[in-house]
């Protein structure tokens, strides 16, 4: 078998704590991916309009505040996640170079 076969108990506890905080799960976290936890995650994902068959969905984990931790990445201190600048601010030569390099058809004929 390849890939992750089970969720580590410490990660399950984190997920359960987040589901409790968001009022999708009651009680105390137990670190076990049991039927109650599964049902809570399915309900959370369904309420977001996401799939409920595969568990857990990466979007759901991010929305629960449990996304990947990039704090140790090479550029973690300087990286930004801002929206890209408007196309109108990109120099024409750069746009032409990217278009030519990609093989995309140009509107400038």
The domains of the chain are located at: 9-63
This prediction's pTM: 0.60
54/89 Cα distance (integer angstroms): 41
Quick one: pLDDT at residue 86? Answer: 81
98/1 Cα distance (integer angstroms): 42
pLDDT tens across 35-80, in order? 999 999 999 999 999 888 777 888 888 899 898 776 677 776 776 6
16/29 Cα distance (integer angstroms): 5
70/15 Cα distance (integer angstroms): 19
Instruction: State residue 28 phi and psi, 5-degree precision.
Output: -105, 145
Is residue 15 pLDDT above 80, yes or no? yes
Is residue 106 pLDDT above 90, yes or no? no
């Amino acid at each position: 078998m390849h890939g992750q076969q089970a969720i580590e108990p410490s990660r399950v506890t984190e997920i359960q704590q987040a589901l409790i905080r968001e009022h999708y799960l009651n009680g105390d976290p137990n670190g076990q991916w049991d039927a109650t936890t599964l049902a809570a995650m399915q309900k959370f994902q369904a309420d977001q309009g996401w799939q409920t068959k595969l568990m857990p969905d990466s979007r759901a984990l991010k929305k629960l505040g449990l996304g990947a931790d990039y704090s140790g990445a090479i550029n973690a201190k300087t990286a930004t996640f801002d929206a890209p600048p408007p196309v109108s601010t990109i120099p024409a030569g750069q746009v032409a170079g990217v278009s030519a390099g990609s093989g995309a058809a140009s509107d400038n004929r």
